[in-house]
Structure formats: C-alpha cells, structure tokens
Amino acid sequence: MSDRSSKAYWAANVRIILISLAVWFLCSFGMGIILRPMLMGIHIGGADLGFWMAQNGSIYVFLVLIFVYAWRMNKIDKEFGVEE
Amino acid sequence: MDQFTLNLLVVGATFALYIGIAIWARAGSTAEFYAAGQGVPPVMNGMATGADWMSAASFISMAGLIAFGGYEASAYLMGWTGGYVLLALLLAPYLRKFGKFTVPEFIGDRFYSAGARLLAVICLIVISVTYVIGQMTGVGVTFARFLEVSTSTGLYIGAAIVFAYAVLGGMKGITYTQVAQYIVLIVAYTIPALFISLQLTGNILPQLGLIGSYAPSGGDVAFLAKLDAVVTELGFKAYTAESTNYFNMFLFTMSLMIGTAGLPHVIIRFFTVPKVSDARSSAGWALVFIALLYTVAPAVGSMARLNLTTTMWPNAVAGKALEGDAVSLADIASKPELSWVQTWEKTGLLVMKDLNGDGKIQYVNEPAPLAANTKALADATKAKDDAKIAELTAARDPILAEAQVGNSGKTFAEMGLKGNELVTVNNDIMVLANPEIADLPGWVVALVAAGALAAALSTAAGLLLAISSAISHDLIKSTINPNISEKGELLAARISMAFAIALATYLGLNPPGFAAQTVALAFGLAAATIFPALMMGIFSHRINKQGAIVGMLVGLVFTASYIFVYKGWFFIPGTNNLPDTPDQYVFGISPLSIGTVGAILNFIVAYVVSMMTAAPPKHVQDLVESIRVPKGAGKAQAH
C-alpha cells in the first residue's frame, strides 16, 4: 500500500472512531448522567428517559455501535484493499 | 429429593462437564496455551469473553448494588459494558494485528524498552492478583452456602477444578470451558428473573418488566413508580432519585469503562481470534452475551428490592406499607414461603432484631441522627464500653421522640419503634436468595449455585492465565532465559500457573479483609496505566520510551496513593491519612473514581515528556504503521 492511501485509510478509520465515540459519549455520559435532569419529562414506559438510558438503553446503543463499526471497517478495508 | 442432593447433582454435573472439556482440549504448544492457537471463531470467543469478564461480582453482587443504590448504581451497568466500545474501536484490532501473546509484550516492543515491559508486568500482576482473590472467596462462599461444606473446603475444591483445566488446557482449555460456563451462568441468572418479572409485572421479559406496570395491585401504576412510593414511604431514598454528585458519578463510570478496556485478562481474549476483522466483531459478540445479563440485572435488583420490602410490609402490595402491620416473627417461623428468611439468617447475611419486643420486624430507614446513634451504640457494644453504652442508650429516647418514620408524619416514639429491626441485608442475598424469595422450584435454586460457581471459576481461570503468561513469557522467556525451548516455556507457563493458583487459594483463605476495596485498585490501575499506554502506543508515532514509562509511573503512583490515603496504605486498616467519607474527598472525587484522573495525568505527562525527548526509532514507527493495517496479520509468532 502506498504512503498516500495508507494515510487516507487511517484518516477514514479515525473519522469513524470519532463519530462512534461521540455517540458513545452522548448516550451514556450525556443522556444517562449529565442531561438526565433535562430529560425528566420524556418517558420510556414507566421510566424517565435518562434513567432508562443509564440502566438499559446505553447498553443497546453500545452493541449497535460496535457492530456498525465492524461492518463499516470491513467495507473500508475492502475499498483500500487491505482486508485479510 | 432434598435441596442439598439437588444442589450436589447439578453442581457435580457442571464440574464433570468442565473437566471433560479440559481433557478434550489439552494444549500442545505455547501458541495454544497462550492464545488457543488463534483458531477460536468470533461468536464462541465472544461467549468465552463474556464468561471471562462476568465475575462473582457481576453475577452475585451487582444486582444487590443496584437494588440498594438505585439510579446511582447505573455507573456499574454503563461502565462495565461501555468499556467494550473502547476495546473494539481503540485496542482490540490493532493488538490482534501486532500478533503476539501478551499485553506487556506489546508495551515492551512498542516502547522498545525492557523497563516498560517490566513495569507493565508489575501492573498486570497487581491488577490480576487483587481480582483473583475476590473470585476465590466467591467460590468458597457459594460452596459453603449451597453444599454445606466449610468455606475453606469449598476453596480447595474450586482450586482443584481450576487447576485441572487451566493448567492442562491453557487458553485453549479455558476458552472452551468458558463457553460451557457462560451457558450455565446465563441460564441460571435469567430463569429466576423471567419468573419474577412475570409475577410482578405480567411481562415475561425482565427488560420490559422494568418499565412495565405493577401487576399485583391491578396494573394501573408503573412498576418503578410503585417501587419509589414503597421505599420512600419507609424513609429510604427513591430508587430512581437523581444523583447527589453527578460529577463523581461521571468520573466513576469513566473509570470503570477505561478500566475494563485496560484489564489484561480481557485484552488477551482478542489475541485468540483468527483475523483482525474478527477481533472487531468478537468485541461485539462479547458484549451481546454480556448484555444478556447486564440488561436483566436492573430488573433483578429492583424487583428483588420490592419483593424484600413487601415481604417485610405485606400491606405495601395493595396500599400503604405503614398502614398495615409489619411481618411477624410467628409468620416467618411458620409460613413455608418465608422460609428463605431463616435460611439466610443462619448465614449472618440477613440479621433481624425485634428491638421493641412486639413480635414483628419493622423495616424502616433510620434518619441521620438516629442512624449515627445506632452505629455508635453498635461500636460501643463491640468494644464492651459500658459507660459509653449507657450514655448512648440514654441519648436514644429524645432522638426517637424527634425522628420521623418515613413520611408517616409520626415519630419513632409515637409508633412504638426503637429503630430499624432488619439490621443487616447483605447485597449478595439479592441474587442468591432470589429464587427462594419468588418461591421457585428447587432445581432453579441449584442452578443459581452452579451459575455463581461458573461465574467465579471462569473469571479466576482467565486471570490465572494472564498472570502465568506474564511470568513465563514476559519474565522468563524475555529476560531471564531467552534461549528456553518451546517445551521448556510451556512447562514454565504451567508451573507459574500452578504457583498462581496456590497463591490465590492462600489469599482466598486469608483474605486481607479488604477484598471489596481492592477491586477499586484493580480498575483504577488498569485505567491509569495499561489503557493509556496501549492507546498512545497505537494512535501516536511520537510517544516514546521515556514518555510511556514516566506516564505509567505517574498514573500508577498517583492512583494508588489517592486510594491508599483514604483506604489505608496497602489496605492495612488504620493507616489511612484521611477518613473515607465524601466530605473529605478532593472535589468530591471518591477513591473509586480516581482512575479517570490518573489516566488523564498519564496522557498529559507522557505527551510532554515525549515532546522533550527524541522521537522513537524508525523500526518502531514502522511497527505503528503496520499494526494500523489489517492485511497480513497471520499467525502470531514466537519471536
């Protein structure tokens, strides 16, 4: 792999990581902790949104994040021809 | 068949299964011993990682922490799962591409320094040994409760089982055994939860039951609202109440997350998969199997809390707790559905005292002045200080005349109470007694015993492997005797594992009395030393030997010192410099949360020192380039 495409591959990877981490932070530390007082009015069944995110919701988001990341990276690996 | 025979049969059957797998999956080479020959498919590896990760703490203690901690205990739920996102995105694929066997090996190569490698070995051993003590004590306690042997006999049996399959099979044997252990533990955890959720909310899925409505009173009130109403009536903090210190909760969650991502026994799981892309999805599969337990845990905790409270105050099911009578001692002695209360009383994990002698057990929260008096009185009684006891007892009546019982509007004196009569409820009861509280059949009780053992044994085995590979591979092979043959190294690995098991058993028999606090140390150190070193090693070309070593040292010393200042130096009781109470913490940061600060310091110091010293040599920069690209991972090489 040439130097340029190797830089582009890494940049693409880092971009996806940053987006994923932004979602990771928003759903756990954001909605689950810092923003909970503001989200009190929104309800998921018998729980307020912040409480539910902290106890259940964030875990579902984490799961989706990892699989989406793995899927996106496999695609990028192929685009750049670096897959195994 | 009585409960004891049933427990023996179920636990015996699972143990036979583990040994059978161990014999089938013996390790023949160091590659198989350290990394299962890198042939474990991602789904199966995910399942094994799940069992490896979910310890006695996850299985037995976490739901209890949530039951009594309520919303604030969410830190455990988010922290112990969110770390897998960091692993999948920031560490696992690159470390798999690096293609060696241990975490210190990566740190030693990337920072071209035997010193850095040694420092990583020390951190790894401190983290893993503190962790393994908790598992061994968990094994002993579970045996003692369900199989009626002494705690030490239980420990010996557990150690013998781990010895058999971990020493024989290495990573290969451990991985396949963990797959079986995962299945045992998840079935044992979820079956009681399904039953209880159905009973309390009419919803078989605990995840939906948690946000569903409370069925026994007609279903017009939400389950969580009912729980809040019942516990606040008795003077406890509402289950869903907001955190009193969001800043500390934030740091605590972060510490658990980066600590999880930095735990060596979890990281080495990702060396066992065939390809880099498998390392990414394997973290996802691990989280799938972990989430099966972790999304059920809040329901288990909250429902057990409500069941416990309505058992103590039967009127709370349909109306107000305090308008009815508390549960009577006569009922506890005679009613079969309350027999679990007596069973657990015998273990000392549940303590009742009929203080006012009315034949009933009133379970209420004592307001601060009364609770302080109660605690001082208990301390004085323990110290046999008669003058102090008399003084505190005399002070009690005026306090009782002032203190309110929950939100009843009446004082303890007016209601004829002398204090909270359910003196102790240990967190661990919430999961272990769950099937009995819900009056489930005997085989479910036996299954919970087998599940708790599976959780503790699988984690202990993973930790022991991490310790033994650090000793045989990072110390003996790399430093003491580099010319050791493959066969010799394998023997050394097995001997160091046997030694690690003996040490863990010894420490499990003589727990230094601080097992719970040491977990804070394990997570804090993993967060402040190993995670930052690995991440900087992958994401920066510029961080050099000096930066990494000084950074790790600063993280290690700072984090350990902050914990020791509050918990006692090396956890020796009485050597703490400041009392372990929130008003003494710097900026309200508890010792449990300090790992985050240690990690930040590590990053900053490593960056500054690296910038002031020479860049890493060319071959190290090439190494960083090569681990960033999946192509050409292949088999791990024993260099």
B73 residue type, one letter: A
Beta carbons of B294 and A59 less than 8 Å apart:
yes
pLDDT tens digit string along B118-152?
A: 999 999 998 998 888 778 877 877 777 777 788 78
Place of tokens 């230094």: B512
Residue B517 pLDDT:
58
**Interatomic CA distance for residues A13 and B627, integer angstroms:** 13
- Structural domain boundaries in chain A: 1-46+69-84
Residue B231, token pair as written in the block: 């516990």
H-helix or E-strand spanning residue A47: strand A47-48
Asked if the structure places residue B308 within a domain, the reply is: no
Q: Where are the alpha helices (DSSP H) in B384-530?
A: 386-402, 429-432, 434-437, 442-469, 486-509, 515-525
- Say yes or no: B319 and B288 in one domain: no
β-bridge pairing B350-352 and A47-48:
unpaired
- Say yes or no: B446 and B423 in one domain: no
pLDDT tens digit string along A27-79?
A: 999 999 999 999 999 999 999 999 999 999 999 999 999 999 999 999 999 99
User: Of all residues in chain B, what percent carry a pLDDT higher than 70?
Assistant: 97
pLDDT at B265 over 60: yes
Taking Cα atoms as reference points, which of B410, B527, B454, B523 lies closest to residue B17?
A: B454
**Interatomic CA distance for residues B16 and B161, integer angstroms:** 10
**Set of chain A residues whose Cβ sits within 8 Å of the Cβ of B93:** 73
Judge contact between B231 and B237, C-beta under 8 A: yes
Considering only CB atoms, which residues of chain A are within 8 Å of chain B?
1, 6, 9-10, 13, 17, 20-21, 24, 28-29, 32-34, 36-37, 44-48, 51-52, 54-56, 58-60, 62-63, 65-67, 69-70, 73-74, 77, 81-84
State whether residue B574 is helix, strand or coil.
Answer: coil
- Say yes or no: B42 and B175 in one domain: yes
Q: Where are the alpha helices (DSSP H) in B103-165?
A: 103-110, 114-147, 151-162
Residues β-bridged to residue B213: B222
Q: Which of residues B511, B539, B560 is at a domain's end?
A: B511
pLDDT tens digit string along B418-452?
A: 999 998 888 888 888 888 877 788 888 899 989 99
pLDDT at B635 over 60: no
**Set of chain A residues whose Cβ sits within 8 Å of the Cβ of B78:** 28, 32, 54, 58-59
Residue B95 pLDDT:
93
Choose from A10, A35, A66, A69 for mutation: most chain B CBs within 10 A: A66
Residues β-bridged to residue A47: A44
What's the mean pLDDT in B163-188? Answer: 87
**Interatomic CA distance for residues A64 and A60, integer angstroms:** 6
Residue B364 pLDDT:
94
pLDDT at B514 over 70: no
- Say yes or no: B277 and B402 in one domain: no
**Set of chain B residues whose Cβ sits within 8 Å of the Cβ of A35:** none
**Strand ranges for B580-637 from DSSP E:** none
Asked if the structure places residue B571 within a domain, the reply is: no
Distance to chain A for B160, nearest Cα, Å: 36
pLDDT tens digit string along B10-42?
A: 999 998 998 888 888 877 778 888 777 777 888
**ipTM of the modeled complex:** 0.96
Enumerate residues 59 to 118 of chain B having a beta carbon within 8 A of any beta carbon in chain A: 66, 71, 74, 77-78, 81-82, 84-85, 88-90, 93
**Set of chain A residues whose Cβ sits within 8 Å of the Cβ of B84:** 62, 66
Judge contact between B474 and B102, C-beta under 8 A: yes
Asked if the structure places residue B247 within a domain, the reply is: yes
- Say yes or no: B323 and B377 in one domain: yes
pLDDT tens digit string along B285-295?
A: 999 999 999 99
Looking at residue B328, what DSSP letter applies?
Answer: B
Judge contact between B603 and B532, C-beta under 8 A: yes
Q: Which of residues B429, B447, B480 is at a domain's end?
A: B429
pLDDT tens digit string along B345-379?
A: 887 788 999 999 999 999 999 998 899 999 899 88
Judge contact between A61 and A27, C-beta under 8 A: yes
pLDDT at B305 over 60: yes
Judge contact between A65 and A22, C-beta under 8 A: no
- Say yes or no: B126 and B158 in one domain: yes
Helix, strand, coil share (%) of chain A residues, nearest 5: 80, 5, 15
Residue B431 pLDDT:
85
- Say yes or no: B324 and B194 in one domain: no
Range of the domain at B366: 314-429
Place of tokens 């002698």: B357
State whether residue B537 is helix, strand or coil.
Answer: helix
Confidence of residue B633 (pLDDT cuts 50, 70, 90): low
Judge contact between A11 and A52, C-beta under 8 A: no
- Say yes or no: B344 and B263 in one domain: no
Query: What is the CB neighbour count within 10 angstroms for residue B23?
Result: 12
- Say yes or no: B218 and B321 in one domain: no
**Interatomic CA distance for residues B638 and B116, integer angstroms:** 20
- Say yes or no: B238 and B322 in one domain: no
Beta carbons of A28 and B276 less than 8 Å apart:
no
Confidence of residue B61 (pLDDT cuts 50, 70, 90): confident
Residue B639 pLDDT:
43
Beta carbons of B77 and A55 less than 8 Å apart:
yes
Question: What's the length of chain A?
Answer: 84
**Strand ranges for B296-390 from DSSP E:** 350-352
Beta carbons of A70 and B88 less than 8 Å apart:
yes
**Set of chain A residues whose Cβ sits within 8 Å of the Cβ of B242:** 36-37
Distance to chain A for B21, nearest Cα, Å: 30
Place of tokens 């308008």: B323
B354 phi and psi angles, rounded to 5 deg:
-80, 80
Taking Cα atoms as reference points, which of B460, B432, B461, B428 lies closest to residue B447?
A: B432
Q: Which of residues B394, B429, B464 is at a domain's end?
A: B429
Burial class (CB in 10 A: 0-12, 13-18, 19+), B75: buried
pLDDT at B201 over 60: yes
pLDDT at B513 over 70: no
Residue B154 pLDDT:
83
Q: Where are the alpha helices (DSSP H) in B271-420?
A: 276-294, 297-312, 329-334, 339-347, 368-383, 386-402
Residue B559 pLDDT:
94
Mean pLDDT for chain B overall: 88
Residue B638 pLDDT:
44
pLDDT tens digit string along B534-557?
A: 999 999 999 999 999 999 999 999
pLDDT at B501 over 60: yes
Choose from A13, A53, A62, A80 for mutation: most chain B CBs within 10 A: A62
Asked if the structure places residue B526 within a domain, the reply is: no
**Interatomic CA distance for residues B93 and B100, integer angstroms:** 13
The count of domains in chain B is 2
Looking at residue B471, what DSSP letter applies?
Answer: I
Confidence of residue B613 (pLDDT cuts 50, 70, 90): very high
pLDDT at B574 over 80: no
Asked if the structure places residue B236 within a domain, the reply is: yes
pLDDT tens digit string along B374-394?
A: 989 988 988 888 999 999 999
Taking Cα atoms as reference points, which of B595, B203, B235, B207 lies closest to residue B415?
A: B235
CA atoms within 13 A on the CB side of B203: 18
Residue B107, token pair as written in the block: 């740190």
- Say yes or no: B355 and B479 in one domain: no
B528 phi and psi angles, rounded to 5 deg:
-90, -15
Residue B518 pLDDT:
67
- Say yes or no: B325 and B448 in one domain: no
